[in-house]
Chain A
Amino acid sequence: MKSAVVQLPGLNRDRDMIAALTKISGKAPVTIWQTETDIPDVDLIVIPGGFSYGDYLRCGAIAARMPVMQAIKAKAEAGVKVLGVCNGFQILVEAGLLPGALMRNASLKFVCKEIKLEVVNANTDFSRAYEQGQIIRCPVAHHDGNYFADAETLATIEGNGQVVFRYAAGTNPNGSMNDIAGIVNAGGNVLGMMPHPENLIEAAHGGSDGRGLFASALDVIAA
Protein backbone atom coordinates (compact mmCIF):
# COMPACT_ATOMS: atom_id res chain seq x y z
CA MET A 1 0.00 0.00 0.00
CA LYS A 2 1.37 3.36 -1.04
CA SER A 3 0.54 6.47 0.91
CA ALA A 4 0.97 10.22 0.60
CA VAL A 5 0.99 13.05 3.13
CA VAL A 6 -0.22 16.52 2.19
CA GLN A 7 1.98 19.44 3.23
CA LEU A 8 0.50 22.92 3.37
CA PRO A 9 1.78 26.12 5.00
CA GLY A 10 0.88 25.94 8.68
CA LEU A 11 0.35 22.21 8.91
CA ASN A 12 2.75 20.96 11.59
CA ARG A 13 1.82 17.33 12.28
CA ASP A 14 3.10 16.13 8.91
CA ARG A 15 6.34 14.76 10.33
CA ASP A 16 4.53 12.75 12.99
CA MET A 17 2.23 11.39 10.28
CA ILE A 18 5.13 10.51 7.97
CA ALA A 19 6.85 8.70 10.87
CA ALA A 20 3.70 6.74 11.73
CA LEU A 21 3.03 5.71 8.13
CA THR A 22 6.67 4.75 7.60
CA LYS A 23 6.87 2.68 10.78
CA ILE A 24 3.60 0.86 10.22
CA SER A 25 3.79 0.22 6.48
CA GLY A 26 7.56 -0.11 6.22
CA LYS A 27 7.50 2.40 3.37
CA ALA A 28 7.90 6.16 3.54
CA PRO A 29 4.91 8.06 2.15
CA VAL A 30 5.38 10.50 -0.69
CA THR A 31 4.60 14.12 0.11
CA ILE A 32 2.20 16.40 -1.75
CA TRP A 33 2.91 20.13 -1.68
CA GLN A 34 0.21 22.79 -1.83
CA THR A 35 0.87 23.72 -5.45
CA GLU A 36 0.58 20.17 -6.79
CA THR A 37 -2.45 19.21 -8.80
CA ASP A 38 -1.05 15.99 -10.21
CA ILE A 39 -1.50 13.61 -7.28
CA PRO A 40 0.74 10.53 -7.35
CA ASP A 41 -0.84 7.13 -7.67
CA VAL A 42 -1.31 6.06 -4.04
CA ASP A 43 -3.84 4.04 -2.02
CA LEU A 44 -4.09 6.44 0.91
CA ILE A 45 -3.81 10.23 1.07
CA VAL A 46 -3.39 11.73 4.54
CA ILE A 47 -4.05 15.35 5.48
CA PRO A 48 -2.32 15.87 8.83
CA GLY A 49 -3.03 18.32 11.61
CA GLY A 50 -1.83 21.83 12.25
CA PHE A 51 -3.05 25.31 11.48
CA SER A 52 -3.15 25.55 7.70
CA TYR A 53 -3.06 29.15 6.44
CA GLY A 54 -3.09 30.36 10.04
CA ASP A 55 -6.67 29.15 10.59
CA TYR A 56 -7.71 32.38 8.84
CA LEU A 57 -11.41 32.85 8.05
CA ARG A 58 -12.39 29.45 9.50
CA CYS A 59 -10.19 26.47 10.36
CA GLY A 60 -9.40 24.64 7.12
CA ALA A 61 -11.40 27.06 4.95
CA ILE A 62 -8.52 28.38 2.85
CA ALA A 63 -6.81 25.00 2.43
CA ALA A 64 -10.09 23.43 1.35
CA ARG A 65 -10.25 25.80 -1.62
CA MET A 66 -6.70 25.33 -2.87
CA PRO A 67 -6.23 23.52 -6.20
CA VAL A 68 -4.51 20.62 -4.41
CA MET A 69 -7.79 19.88 -2.62
CA GLN A 70 -9.69 19.79 -5.89
CA ALA A 71 -7.22 17.16 -7.06
CA ILE A 72 -7.63 15.21 -3.80
CA LYS A 73 -11.41 15.46 -4.13
CA ALA A 74 -11.16 13.88 -7.59
CA LYS A 75 -9.03 11.07 -6.13
CA ALA A 76 -11.54 10.53 -3.31
CA GLU A 77 -14.37 10.34 -5.83
CA ALA A 78 -12.33 7.71 -7.70
CA GLY A 79 -12.22 5.62 -4.49
CA VAL A 80 -8.77 6.46 -3.10
CA LYS A 81 -8.75 6.42 0.71
CA VAL A 82 -8.38 9.84 2.31
CA LEU A 83 -7.67 10.37 6.01
CA GLY A 84 -7.86 13.80 7.64
CA VAL A 85 -6.69 14.22 11.22
CA CYS A 86 -7.45 17.34 13.29
CA ASN A 87 -6.92 20.26 10.88
CA GLY A 88 -7.15 17.62 8.16
CA PHE A 89 -10.68 16.80 9.37
CA GLN A 90 -11.54 20.51 9.37
CA ILE A 91 -10.23 20.78 5.79
CA LEU A 92 -12.31 17.78 4.68
CA VAL A 93 -15.56 19.23 6.04
CA GLU A 94 -14.78 22.66 4.57
CA ALA A 95 -14.07 20.98 1.22
CA GLY A 96 -17.43 19.24 1.36
CA LEU A 97 -15.84 15.76 1.38
CA LEU A 98 -17.46 15.09 4.75
CA PRO A 99 -20.75 16.44 6.13
CA GLY A 100 -21.14 18.88 9.01
CA ALA A 101 -18.84 21.51 10.47
CA LEU A 102 -16.26 21.83 13.24
CA MET A 103 -16.87 24.72 15.57
CA ARG A 104 -15.02 26.36 18.46
CA ASN A 105 -14.77 24.04 21.49
CA ALA A 106 -17.70 24.56 23.83
CA SER A 107 -15.22 25.36 26.62
CA LEU A 108 -13.58 28.01 24.37
CA LYS A 109 -10.28 26.44 25.44
CA PHE A 110 -7.62 24.69 23.42
CA VAL A 111 -7.63 21.12 24.70
CA CYS A 112 -4.43 19.08 24.70
CA LYS A 113 -4.81 15.82 26.57
CA GLU A 114 -5.55 12.14 26.27
CA ILE A 115 -9.14 11.02 25.86
CA LYS A 116 -10.80 7.69 25.22
CA LEU A 117 -12.49 6.73 21.99
CA GLU A 118 -15.14 4.14 21.41
CA VAL A 119 -14.90 2.32 18.10
CA VAL A 120 -18.52 2.64 17.04
CA ASN A 121 -18.08 1.09 13.61
CA ALA A 122 -15.27 -1.47 13.27
CA ASN A 123 -16.43 -2.36 9.78
CA THR A 124 -14.66 0.39 7.83
CA ASP A 125 -11.40 0.56 5.91
CA PHE A 126 -10.00 2.65 8.75
CA SER A 127 -11.14 0.70 11.79
CA ARG A 128 -11.25 -3.00 11.04
CA ALA A 129 -8.16 -3.73 13.13
CA TYR A 130 -10.26 -2.84 16.17
CA GLU A 131 -13.12 -4.69 17.83
CA GLN A 132 -16.60 -3.25 17.61
CA GLY A 133 -17.16 -1.23 20.79
CA GLN A 134 -13.48 -1.32 21.74
CA ILE A 135 -12.32 1.58 23.90
CA ILE A 136 -8.95 2.98 22.86
CA ARG A 137 -6.75 5.75 24.21
CA CYS A 138 -5.96 8.68 21.93
CA PRO A 139 -4.47 12.16 22.32
CA VAL A 140 -6.37 15.27 21.23
CA ALA A 141 -5.01 18.79 20.63
CA HIS A 142 -7.38 21.31 19.12
CA HIS A 143 -9.38 24.50 19.58
CA ASP A 144 -12.13 23.84 17.04
CA GLY A 145 -13.25 20.23 17.28
CA ASN A 146 -16.87 20.72 18.24
CA TYR A 147 -18.70 18.66 15.63
CA PHE A 148 -21.96 20.14 14.40
CA ALA A 149 -24.47 18.95 11.82
CA ASP A 150 -28.12 19.79 11.32
CA ALA A 151 -30.66 17.27 12.62
CA GLU A 152 -31.24 15.70 9.22
CA THR A 153 -27.53 15.23 8.47
CA LEU A 154 -26.93 13.86 11.95
CA ALA A 155 -29.73 11.33 11.54
CA THR A 156 -28.32 10.30 8.16
CA ILE A 157 -24.75 9.73 9.32
CA GLU A 158 -25.91 7.93 12.46
CA GLY A 159 -28.29 5.76 10.43
CA ASN A 160 -25.63 4.87 7.86
CA GLY A 161 -23.03 3.90 10.44
CA GLN A 162 -20.83 6.78 9.30
CA VAL A 163 -19.86 7.62 12.88
CA VAL A 164 -16.67 5.58 13.36
CA PHE A 165 -15.29 6.99 16.60
CA ARG A 166 -17.09 8.54 19.54
CA TYR A 167 -15.56 10.12 22.63
CA ALA A 168 -16.12 7.50 25.32
CA ALA A 169 -18.49 8.40 28.15
CA GLY A 170 -17.29 11.42 30.09
CA THR A 171 -14.34 12.24 27.81
CA ASN A 172 -15.94 14.54 25.19
CA PRO A 173 -13.37 17.37 25.18
CA ASN A 174 -15.15 19.86 22.93
CA GLY A 175 -18.94 19.60 23.09
CA SER A 176 -19.31 17.61 19.85
CA MET A 177 -22.85 16.53 19.03
CA ASN A 178 -23.46 12.87 19.90
CA ASP A 179 -19.84 12.74 21.18
CA ILE A 180 -18.71 12.45 17.54
CA ALA A 181 -14.92 12.22 17.17
CA GLY A 182 -14.58 10.73 13.68
CA ILE A 183 -16.81 10.09 10.68
CA VAL A 184 -16.57 8.56 7.22
CA ASN A 185 -18.28 9.69 4.03
CA ALA A 186 -21.15 7.69 2.57
CA GLY A 187 -18.70 5.78 0.36
CA GLY A 188 -16.60 4.81 3.39
CA ASN A 189 -13.28 5.85 1.82
CA VAL A 190 -12.88 9.26 3.46
CA LEU A 191 -12.36 9.47 7.24
CA GLY A 192 -12.00 12.63 9.29
CA MET A 193 -11.22 12.62 13.00
CA MET A 194 -10.11 15.20 15.56
CA PRO A 195 -7.93 12.93 17.77
CA HIS A 196 -4.32 12.11 16.80
CA PRO A 197 -3.81 8.35 16.41
CA GLU A 198 -0.37 9.01 14.88
CA ASN A 199 0.84 10.12 18.29
CA LEU A 200 0.14 6.79 20.00
CA ILE A 201 1.71 4.09 17.86
CA GLU A 202 4.69 2.74 19.82
CA ALA A 203 6.07 2.14 23.30
CA ALA A 204 7.97 5.43 23.20
CA HIS A 205 4.58 7.19 22.94
CA GLY A 206 3.33 5.34 26.00
CA GLY A 207 1.06 3.04 24.03
CA SER A 208 0.09 1.89 20.58
CA ASP A 209 -3.70 2.18 20.51
CA GLY A 210 -3.54 4.41 17.41
CA ARG A 211 -1.73 1.78 15.40
CA GLY A 212 -4.88 -0.11 14.45
CA LEU A 213 -6.20 2.78 12.41
CA PHE A 214 -3.10 2.86 10.20
CA ALA A 215 -2.90 -0.93 10.08
CA SER A 216 -6.49 -0.90 8.80
CA ALA A 217 -6.00 1.90 6.28
CA LEU A 218 -2.68 0.51 5.04
CA ASP A 219 -3.99 -3.04 5.02
CA VAL A 220 -1.20 -4.42 7.19
CA ILE A 221 -3.28 -6.08 9.89
CA ALA A 222 -1.41 -8.99 11.40
CA ALA A 223 -3.27 -12.24 10.78
Chain B
Amino acid sequence: MINARVTVTLKNGVLDPQGKAIEGALGALGFDGIGHVRQGKVFDLQIDTADKAKAEAEVKAMCEKLLANTVIENYTISFP
Protein backbone atom coordinates (compact mmCIF):
# COMPACT_ATOMS: atom_id res chain seq x y z
CA MET B 1 0.00 0.00 0.00
CA ILE B 2 1.38 3.39 -0.96
CA ASN B 3 0.09 6.66 0.45
CA ALA B 4 0.05 9.60 -1.89
CA ARG B 5 -0.79 13.25 -1.45
CA VAL B 6 -1.92 15.49 -4.28
CA THR B 7 -1.80 19.25 -3.82
CA VAL B 8 -3.77 21.34 -6.27
CA THR B 9 -3.18 25.07 -6.52
CA LEU B 10 -4.34 27.80 -8.86
CA LYS B 11 -1.95 28.76 -11.62
CA ASN B 12 -0.22 32.10 -11.43
CA GLY B 13 -2.31 34.80 -13.03
CA VAL B 14 -5.62 33.12 -12.21
CA LEU B 15 -7.67 35.38 -9.97
CA ASP B 16 -8.41 33.77 -6.60
CA PRO B 17 -11.18 35.76 -4.92
CA GLN B 18 -11.30 33.28 -2.02
CA GLY B 19 -7.59 33.76 -1.39
CA LYS B 20 -8.13 37.52 -1.46
CA ALA B 21 -10.96 37.28 1.08
CA ILE B 22 -8.80 35.11 3.36
CA GLU B 23 -5.95 37.60 3.00
CA GLY B 24 -8.33 40.38 4.05
CA ALA B 25 -9.49 38.35 7.07
CA LEU B 26 -5.89 37.68 8.13
CA GLY B 27 -5.25 41.42 7.94
CA ALA B 28 -8.36 42.03 10.07
CA LEU B 29 -6.92 39.65 12.70
CA GLY B 30 -3.83 41.78 12.90
CA PHE B 31 -1.43 39.69 10.83
CA ASP B 32 0.62 42.32 9.08
CA GLY B 33 2.63 41.99 5.92
CA ILE B 34 0.65 39.03 4.53
CA GLY B 35 0.37 38.89 0.75
CA HIS B 36 -0.43 36.61 -2.14
CA VAL B 37 -2.70 34.25 -0.20
CA ARG B 38 -3.87 31.48 -2.52
CA GLN B 39 -6.35 28.77 -1.63
CA GLY B 40 -5.81 25.20 -2.83
CA LYS B 41 -6.90 21.63 -2.24
CA VAL B 42 -5.21 18.56 -0.82
CA PHE B 43 -6.16 14.95 -1.65
CA ASP B 44 -4.77 12.01 0.31
CA LEU B 45 -5.17 8.60 -1.22
CA GLN B 46 -3.94 5.02 -0.94
CA ILE B 47 -2.89 2.93 -3.89
CA ASP B 48 -2.91 -0.83 -3.59
CA THR B 49 0.54 -1.52 -5.02
CA ALA B 50 4.13 -1.73 -3.85
CA ASP B 51 5.48 -0.27 -7.07
CA LYS B 52 6.12 3.43 -6.47
CA ALA B 53 6.75 4.27 -10.12
CA LYS B 54 3.46 2.67 -11.10
CA ALA B 55 1.67 4.52 -8.27
CA GLU B 56 3.14 7.83 -9.37
CA ALA B 57 2.09 7.27 -12.99
CA GLU B 58 -1.39 6.38 -11.87
CA VAL B 59 -1.78 9.41 -9.59
CA LYS B 60 -0.51 11.66 -12.38
CA ALA B 61 -3.20 10.26 -14.67
CA MET B 62 -5.81 10.91 -11.96
CA CYS B 63 -4.66 14.52 -11.68
CA GLU B 64 -4.83 15.05 -15.43
CA LYS B 65 -8.22 13.41 -15.77
CA LEU B 66 -10.06 14.56 -12.67
CA LEU B 67 -8.34 15.93 -9.60
CA ALA B 68 -7.03 19.11 -11.23
CA ASN B 69 -8.54 21.29 -13.93
CA THR B 70 -5.33 22.00 -15.80
CA VAL B 71 -6.88 25.04 -17.48
CA ILE B 72 -6.61 26.88 -14.17
CA GLU B 73 -4.78 24.60 -11.74
CA ASN B 74 -1.35 23.08 -11.16
CA TYR B 75 -0.78 19.95 -9.12
CA THR B 76 2.08 18.32 -7.25
CA ILE B 77 2.31 14.71 -6.10
CA SER B 78 4.15 13.63 -2.99
CA PHE B 79 4.51 10.38 -1.05
CA PRO B 80 4.48 11.35 2.60
Contacts and interface: CB of A to CB of B under 8 A. Distances in A.
Q: Tell me, yes or no, whether A binds B.
A: yes
Interface in A84-112: 93-94, 99-101, 103-108
Contacts of B71: 93, 99-101, 148-150
B41 to A, nearest CB: 8
A104 B10 CA distance: 12
Contact of A107 (B14, B17, B72): B17
A150 B21 CA distance: 23
A163 B52 CA distance: 45
Contact of A148 (B15, B65, B66): B15
Nearest to B21: A108
Nearest to A109: B17
Contacts of A148: 14-15, 71-72
B66 A108 contact: no
Contacts of A150: 71
A105 B17 contact: yes
Interface string B54-76: 00000000000111010110000
Nearest to A62: B66
Interface residues of A, number: 20
Interface residues of B, number: 11
Contacts of B15: 103, 106, 146, 148, 175
Nearest to A60: B69
B78 interface: no
Contacts of A104: 17-18
Given A61-B69, A148-B72, A150-B71, A103 B14 contact: yes
Interface of A: 57-58, 61, 65, 93-94, 99-101, 103-108, 146, 148-150, 175
Given A103-B72, A108-B17, A108-B18, 17 more contacts: A58-B69, A65-B65, A65-B66, A93-B71, A100-B71, A101-B69, A101-B72, A103-B15, A104-B18, A106-B15, A106-B17, A107-B17, A108-B21, A148-B15, A148-B71, A150-B71, A175-B17
Shortest 3 CB-CB contacts between residues of A and residues of B: A101-B71, A101-B72, A106-B17
26 contacts: A57-B66, A57-B67, A58-B69, A61-B66, A61-B69, A65-B65, A65-B66, A94-B69, A99-B71, A101-B71, A101-B72, A103-B14, A103-B72, A104-B17, A104-B18, A106-B15, A107-B17, A108-B17, A108-B18, A108-B21, A148-B14, A148-B15, A148-B71, A149-B71, A150-B71, A175-B17
